[in-house]
């Protein structure tokens, strides 16, 4: 945990003091056949306007309950041609969860590189 005097820089480049901590859990890649989880007490900071913001962690996207490695693993298996239900069974997740991971990645990719109409 961080000392009470510790600060983090917010999106506006302002130093904000630690307000408290919140316990979070992320699903990680399986360790052999065993499910693996990552637990952490994540600091929350007090913004200059009085609002409280949870600090982002480097191993997961905001709001996700999975590590980047878990999401990448699920997408890589799917990209190899395995069906969503089979991927879900392999990693112990519902196929709809795998589908949401893929949809999120596709949406992010399309924001960076939108599809263009080809002119014939």
Whether 42 has a pLDDT exceeding 90, the answer reads yes
Q: What is the pLDDT of residues 49-93, one digit of tens each?
A: 999 999 999 999 999 999 999 999 999 999 999 999 999 999 999
Global model pTM greater than 0.85? no
Handedness of CA 26, 108, 84, 75 (dihedral sign): negative
- Residue 1: its pLDDT value, please? 66
- Residue 114: its pLDDT value, please? 87
Supply 57's token pair.
């962690």
Which CA distances in Å does 112 have to 11, 64, 77, 109?
Answer: 21, 20, 23, 5
């Amino acid at each position: 945990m961080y000392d009470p005097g510790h600060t983090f820089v917010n999106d506006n480049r302002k130093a904000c003091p630690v307000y408290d901590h919140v316990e979070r859990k992320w699903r990680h890649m399986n360790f052999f056949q065993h499910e693996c989880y990552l637990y952490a007490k994540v600091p929350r900071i007090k913004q200059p306007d009085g609002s409280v913001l949870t600090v982002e962690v480097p191993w997961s996207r905001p709001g996700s309950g999975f590590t980047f490695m878990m999401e990448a693993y699920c997408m890589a298996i799917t990209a190899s041609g395995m069906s969503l239900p089979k991927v879900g069974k392999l990693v112990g997740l519902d196929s709809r969860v795998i589908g949401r991971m893929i949809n999120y990645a596709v949406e992010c990719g399309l924001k960076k590189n939108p599809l263009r109409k080809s002119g014939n």
